Amino acid sequence: MRILPALIALASLFAGFQLFRGVGDQNSKVSDGNAPSSGNYRLAANGEEATCAVKRGAEVASGLSLLTVASDCRLVFPGIERAKFWRDQDDGTVAFSANGVDPIVTFGVADGDGYESYVPTAPLLSLAAIDE
Protein backbone atom coordinates (compact mmCIF):
# COMPACT_ATOMS: atom_id res chain seq x y z
CA MET A 1 0.00 0.00 0.00
CA ARG A 2 2.97 2.36 0.27
CA ILE A 3 3.28 2.40 -3.51
CA LEU A 4 -0.09 4.11 -4.10
CA PRO A 5 0.75 7.35 -2.18
CA ALA A 6 4.17 7.44 -3.86
CA LEU A 7 2.58 7.08 -7.32
CA ILE A 8 0.04 9.82 -6.53
CA ALA A 9 2.81 12.13 -5.36
CA LEU A 10 4.88 11.38 -8.45
CA ALA A 11 1.90 12.00 -10.77
CA SER A 12 1.16 15.30 -9.00
CA LEU A 13 4.77 16.38 -9.31
CA PHE A 14 4.82 15.52 -13.01
CA ALA A 15 1.54 17.37 -13.66
CA GLY A 16 2.80 20.42 -11.77
CA PHE A 17 6.02 20.43 -13.77
CA GLN A 18 4.10 20.24 -17.07
CA LEU A 19 1.81 23.08 -15.99
CA PHE A 20 4.76 25.22 -14.88
CA ARG A 21 6.62 24.50 -18.10
CA GLY A 22 3.62 25.52 -20.22
CA VAL A 23 3.21 28.81 -18.36
CA GLY A 24 6.94 29.54 -18.68
CA ASP A 25 6.83 28.98 -22.43
CA GLN A 26 3.93 31.41 -22.82
CA ASN A 27 5.62 34.08 -20.72
CA SER A 28 8.92 33.81 -22.55
CA LYS A 29 7.22 34.41 -25.91
CA VAL A 30 5.33 37.43 -24.63
CA SER A 31 7.98 39.05 -22.46
CA ASP A 32 10.89 38.89 -24.89
CA GLY A 33 9.92 41.46 -27.51
CA ASN A 34 13.36 41.38 -29.14
CA ALA A 35 13.41 37.72 -30.07
CA PRO A 36 11.62 36.60 -33.22
CA SER A 37 9.17 33.74 -32.90
CA SER A 38 11.57 31.44 -34.76
CA GLY A 39 14.57 32.19 -32.50
CA ASN A 40 16.86 32.16 -35.55
CA TYR A 41 19.77 34.59 -35.85
CA ARG A 42 22.67 35.31 -38.18
CA LEU A 43 26.01 35.98 -36.42
CA ALA A 44 28.58 38.15 -38.21
CA ALA A 45 31.85 39.81 -37.27
CA ASN A 46 32.37 43.47 -38.16
CA GLY A 47 34.20 43.80 -41.45
CA GLU A 48 34.12 40.09 -42.22
CA GLU A 49 32.11 38.33 -44.88
CA ALA A 50 31.73 35.10 -42.92
CA THR A 51 28.40 34.59 -41.16
CA CYS A 52 26.81 31.64 -39.41
CA ALA A 53 23.52 30.49 -37.92
CA VAL A 54 22.59 30.68 -34.25
CA LYS A 55 19.31 29.35 -32.85
CA ARG A 56 17.77 30.09 -29.50
CA GLY A 57 16.08 26.95 -28.23
CA ALA A 58 13.78 25.98 -25.41
CA GLU A 59 13.86 27.77 -22.09
CA VAL A 60 15.41 25.52 -19.40
CA ALA A 61 15.21 27.99 -16.50
CA SER A 62 14.09 31.55 -15.94
CA GLY A 63 16.04 33.62 -18.48
CA LEU A 64 18.17 30.65 -19.57
CA SER A 65 17.57 28.95 -22.92
CA LEU A 66 19.36 26.29 -24.89
CA LEU A 67 21.50 27.58 -27.74
CA THR A 68 22.53 25.93 -30.99
CA VAL A 69 25.59 27.43 -32.65
CA ALA A 70 26.54 26.20 -36.12
CA SER A 71 29.98 24.60 -36.30
CA ASP A 72 31.13 27.16 -38.89
CA CYS A 73 30.66 29.94 -36.29
CA ARG A 74 34.25 29.27 -35.21
CA LEU A 75 35.25 31.05 -38.44
CA VAL A 76 33.35 34.15 -37.31
CA PHE A 77 34.53 34.11 -33.67
CA PRO A 78 36.83 31.29 -32.47
CA GLY A 79 35.51 29.63 -29.34
CA ILE A 80 31.86 30.60 -29.78
CA GLU A 81 31.06 27.11 -31.05
CA ARG A 82 31.35 25.97 -27.39
CA ALA A 83 28.33 28.09 -26.38
CA LYS A 84 25.34 25.98 -25.35
CA PHE A 85 23.22 28.51 -23.42
CA TRP A 86 21.53 31.86 -24.09
CA ARG A 87 20.98 33.94 -20.95
CA ASP A 88 18.67 36.98 -20.85
CA GLN A 89 20.12 39.21 -18.16
CA ASP A 90 18.22 41.70 -15.99
CA ASP A 91 19.81 44.70 -17.71
CA GLY A 92 18.49 43.65 -21.15
CA THR A 93 21.75 42.16 -22.36
CA VAL A 94 22.21 38.62 -23.65
CA ALA A 95 25.14 36.34 -22.82
CA PHE A 96 26.23 33.14 -24.56
CA SER A 97 28.00 30.57 -22.39
CA ALA A 98 29.15 26.98 -22.35
CA ASN A 99 27.95 26.34 -18.79
CA GLY A 100 25.02 28.75 -18.37
CA VAL A 101 27.06 31.08 -16.14
CA ASP A 102 30.42 32.25 -17.54
CA PRO A 103 29.88 34.33 -20.70
CA ILE A 104 31.87 33.73 -23.86
CA VAL A 105 30.31 36.81 -25.47
CA THR A 106 27.80 39.41 -24.22
CA PHE A 107 25.45 41.35 -26.47
CA GLY A 108 23.47 44.53 -25.98
CA VAL A 109 20.27 45.35 -27.86
CA ALA A 110 20.92 46.96 -31.25
CA ASP A 111 18.60 48.84 -33.58
CA GLY A 112 15.94 46.55 -35.02
CA ASP A 113 15.66 42.87 -34.17
CA GLY A 114 19.19 42.15 -33.14
CA TYR A 115 22.13 42.59 -30.84
CA GLU A 116 25.73 43.87 -30.92
CA SER A 117 28.53 42.52 -28.77
CA TYR A 118 30.30 44.65 -26.21
CA VAL A 119 32.32 41.95 -24.44
CA PRO A 120 34.77 41.11 -25.88
CA THR A 121 35.35 44.47 -27.51
CA ALA A 122 36.97 43.05 -30.63
CA PRO A 123 35.81 41.88 -33.01
CA LEU A 124 32.43 43.60 -32.92
CA LEU A 125 29.83 40.86 -33.43
CA SER A 126 26.31 41.40 -34.65
CA LEU A 127 23.43 39.04 -34.05
CA ALA A 128 20.58 39.75 -36.47
CA ALA A 129 17.18 38.11 -36.20
CA ILE A 130 16.03 36.18 -39.24
CA ASP A 131 12.73 34.48 -39.97
CA GLU A 132 12.82 30.95 -41.29
Domains within the chain, CATH numbers bracketed:
32-130 (2.40.128.10)
Work out the mean pLDDT of the chain and round it to a whole number: 79
Instruction: Tell me the pLDDT tens digit for each residue of 85-125.
Output: 999 999 999 999 999 999 999 999 987 778 999 999 888 99
Sign of the CA dihedral running 73, 74, 78, 84: positive
Which pLDDT band holds residue 40 (cuts at 50, 70, 90)? very high
- Residue 119: strand pairing partners: 106
Torsion of Cα atoms, 114 then 117 then 122 then 125, to 10° = -20
**What pLDDT sits at residue 122?**
86
Q: How many CB atoms lie within 10 A of CB 65?
A: 21
How many percent of the chain have pLDDT more than 70? 71
CA distance 79 to 104: 8
**What pLDDT sits at residue 89?**
93
**What pLDDT sits at residue 93?**
94
**What pLDDT sits at residue 50?**
87
CA separation, residue 9 to residues 20, 40, 100 (Å): 16, 39, 31
CA distance 49 to 72: 13
**What pLDDT sits at residue 113?**
73
Query: pTM of this prediction?
Result: 0.69
Q: Which of 101, 108, 106, 72 is nearest to 85 (CA)?
A: 101
